A and B are shown apart, each in its own frame.
Chain A
Amino acid sequence: MSVQALRFALVGNPNCGKTSIFNRLTGARAKVANYPGVTVERRTGPVSGTASPAQLIDLPGTYSLHVSSLDEKVARDIILGQMAGEAPPDVLIAVVDATNLRLGLRLVLELKKLGRPMILALNQADAATHRGIKIDTDGLAAAIGVPVVETVAIKRHGLNALCDAMDQITAQQQNTQANVISDADASRQESVESLYQHIEQLTAAYVTAPPDTITWQDKLDRFVMHPVAGLITLFVVLLLIFQAVFAWAAPIMDLIDGSFGALSEWVAATLPDGILKDFLADGLIAGVGGVLVFLPQIIILFFFILLLEDSGYLTRAAFLLDRPMRGVGLSGRSFIPLLSSFACAIPGIMATRTVPDPRERIIAIMVAPLMTCSARLPVYTLIIAAFIPSQKVWGIFNLQGLTLFVLYMAGIVSAALMAWLMRLRRTREEFPLLLELPAYRWPSAYHLLLGLRERTWVFLRRVGTIILALSIVLWALSSFPGPPAGAVGPAIEYSLAGQLGRFMQPIFEPMGFTWQMCIALIPAMAAREVAVSALATVYAVGGDTFEQALGQTLGQSWGLPTALAYLAWFVYAPQCLATIAVVRRETNSRSATAFFTIYLFALAYFFAVATYQIATAVLS
């Protein structure tokens, strides 16, 4: 008879280290960062360190079972067994940040009332020791009536003890058969005041902490959260990131570009003429290489995002921007979801679950794709490199880097405008900000490397699957059917892709798009980056340094107004299909999804036409 694995759920305040523990115990690589609200969905995995089989559930953080946002609701529904089709967990592992004991213990005492078996993990014990906080775990365990272990999830300390405690509970469970108190009893609550009184007694008896002194953290906060100095800092930090993405990546990109160019030349020189050679050189190497070139940029962008996420700075930025964002109907709560959208709109839209105000949440979802996601970076880079001269402005900034910054700003400003327009339908009711500002931490090299590896892997997988597939399909579409005998002009004009492009072209006429550009828009709906390889395929460029060659071809065949209009199109561009699917799931509304898709199409069309017409008028 096989033993049913017990289900353990990690429960605790936001940012106390639940996911770090989950990752260590299950070997998963779920996202960990230093701000509240990183995890917004539950995640399950088998534990490897216990003697008896165990399933571990990682939950979003919550301050209380009286929830105030969707991510907290996910946690509560699982804990109380109110999630449809899912039994409540057998055992709760309450995780408490040992440097923030009172807040954590309040939730523990609330959970205790549920009557489920529980283990208390005092995580971040290293940080507590560092601050001179000493906790008598045995005393605390006896007083609360649950086993207590100290853990340091980032260094693996105490996790064996945690596994032992889990095994012990499993043994007890099998002897006594779970007698779980019903949720009706859970609603028989104690007042917050008396809970905190109990906590004061506990901390007085079992915890010694030195008096609160002013630390480097407080001094840093005085500067970073200063109304003027703080905002300047924020602006400089963001500007530096854009500069770095553009400038630092260039040498490595040239290197990759050169190698693919050489490879393609070698193929061209070695293979006999024919379809295989065309396919390898124009379809495969041009398609995949064309996108792979952007790996360094993506890595640099994510390096900075991870650095900001793990330092604790992001909540400070949210604090500074709360008021300005409220002017357009958002709030500081939407800051981190919107910032995540610079990486990719999908996690950004998921992260809006942490926004307590449902209307604000919808607005944030609607404008999230206007934040330039990393998949658009290749398109921007290619066109900027082809049309914007690389000169210095004011001695320090590169004109190309500056253009990139302007494109990002265009997205941000439009998002603000759209949010402001959508806010006009808002009720007057206010929602609180109440944002915890976590302690600053040195970004851990381990998380940084792990995060970068993860992002690199995601990017490579995209290149190897969807981008590769689209490149092949596009190559086929633009090679077949072949030109009739005696035809003049490039073969692609007779192909399926060519016909499709010509069919679409009248719609895009007012913004000056050529039929080749229209073709590239279609695969870009599945993955933005493919616009680059698609352009390479339809313009049939090859040669030694392929990226530069493509840039030159574009520079000759498009006018500047057309190039700017293409950029404008991609700033607003209809979102990739995956984003639309996530909007459908997160809003759970067909009309909201339809609105989302149509308004972005309309914006893209409007701004591309306007850009083209204005640029044409100005330049002539």
Chain B
Amino acid sequence: MTPSPISTASAPQQRPRSLDQCRKGETLRITELLSQPAFGAQDEQVTLRLKELGFLPGVSMTVLGYGFLGRDPLAVKIAGTKFALRRSEASKVAVATEDQP
């Protein structure tokens, strides 16, 4: 069940940090969109929708907060717009901390 990167990233040993592992208040830059088997056949559509909503590599966003059970869902602000995402969607978004490239 380990999600693997869609793009041909140069063979990562481990899965890059994804949005669902980030803390409240962090500002992050998206590095790539990963696949997530939980969505089954829908996965590509979810990736497309995420991209259409502006979750694209290079864009930065801030984690606003979490829901109350299992820190799910989470809210982010991206390009001035706020979205609520579940952990499964968030795990598709690989991120890097803003200050390090």
For residue B40, which residue of chain A has the nearest CB? Answer: A429
Contact with A along B59-94 (1 / 0, CB 8 A): 000001111111011010101111111101100000
B51 at the interface (CB under 8 A from A): yes
Residue from A227, A318, A430 in contact with B68 in the complex, judged by beta carbons closer than 8 Å: A227
Q: With the chains together, A68 CA to B50 CA distance in Å?
A: 12
For residue A63, which residue of chain B has the nearest CB? Answer: B52
Residue from B42, B45, B64, B69 in contact with A218 in the complex, judged by beta carbons closer than 8 Å: B64
Number of chain B residues close to chain A: CB under 8 A: 36
A432 smallest CB distance to B (angstroms): 5
Q: With the chains together, A436 CA to B76 CA distance in Å?
A: 10
Contact with B along A311-355 (1 / 0, CB 8 A): 000010011101110000000100000000000000000000000
A100 at the interface (CB under 8 A from B): yes
B40: which A residues are within 8 A, CB to CB?
428-430
Q: With the chains together, A428 CA to B45 CA distance in Å?
A: 17
B41 touches A102 (CB 8 A): no
B75 touches A225 (CB 8 A): yes
B81 touches A100 (CB 8 A): yes
A228: which B residues are within 8 A, CB to CB?
68
B56 at the interface (CB under 8 A from A): yes
B6 at the interface (CB under 8 A from A): no
A323: which B residues are within 8 A, CB to CB?
67-70, 72-73
A431 at the interface (CB under 8 A from B): yes
A186 at the interface (CB under 8 A from B): no
A320 touches B67 (CB 8 A): yes
Q: With the chains together, A436 CA to B42 CA distance in Å?
A: 20
B4 smallest CB distance to A (angstroms): 17
Q: With the chains together, A353 CA to B48 CA distance in Å?
A: 21
B49 touches A437 (CB 8 A): no
Contact with A along B23-61 (1 / 0, CB 8 A): 000000000000000111110011011111110100000
Residue from A102, A221, A227 in contact with B54 in the complex, judged by beta carbons closer than 8 Å: A102
For residue A110, which residue of chain B has the nearest CB? Answer: B52
A315 touches B84 (CB 8 A): yes
A226 touches B53 (CB 8 A): no
A61 smallest CB distance to B (angstroms): 13
B48: which A residues are within 8 A, CB to CB?
64, 66, 192
B56 touches A196 (CB 8 A): yes
Size bin of chain A's contact surface: 35 or more
Q: Is the interface of B mostly helix, strand, loop or mixed?
A: mixed
A102: which B residues are within 8 A, CB to CB?
54, 79
Contact with B along A540-579 (1 / 0, CB 8 A): 0000000000000000000000000000000000000000
A212 at the interface (CB under 8 A from B): yes
A433 touches B51 (CB 8 A): no
A533 at the interface (CB under 8 A from B): no
Residue from B49, B65, B68, B81 in contact with A68 in the complex, judged by beta carbons closer than 8 Å: B49
B73 touches A433 (CB 8 A): yes
B24 smallest CB distance to A (angstroms): 9
A193: which B residues are within 8 A, CB to CB?
51, 56
Name, among A99, A227, A429, A434, the residue most crowded by chain B CB atoms within 10 Å (CB to CB): A434
A394 smallest CB distance to B (angstroms): 26
A106 touches B83 (CB 8 A): no
B73 smallest CB distance to A (angstroms): 5
Scan residues 404-450 of chain A and give those whose CB is less than 8 A from a CB of chain B: 428-438
B88 touches A332 (CB 8 A): no
Which residues of A pack against B, CB within 8 Å?
63-64, 66, 68, 99-100, 102-103, 106, 192-193, 196, 212, 218, 221-222, 225-228, 230-231, 315, 318-320, 322-324, 332, 428-438
| 6 pairs of A and B residues whose beta carbons are closest in the complex | A227-B68, A437-B82, A192-B51, A323-B69, A435-B84, A429-B40
Q: What are 29 A-to-B residue pairs whose CB atoms are below 8 Å?
A: A103-B53, A103-B54, A103-B79, A221-B75, A222-B65, A225-B64, A225-B75, A227-B65, A227-B66, A227-B68, A230-B68, A315-B84, A322-B67, A322-B84, A323-B67, A323-B70, A430-B86, A430-B88, A431-B42, A432-B39, A432-B42, A433-B84, A433-B86, A433-B89, A434-B50, A434-B53, A434-B83, A434-B84, A434-B89
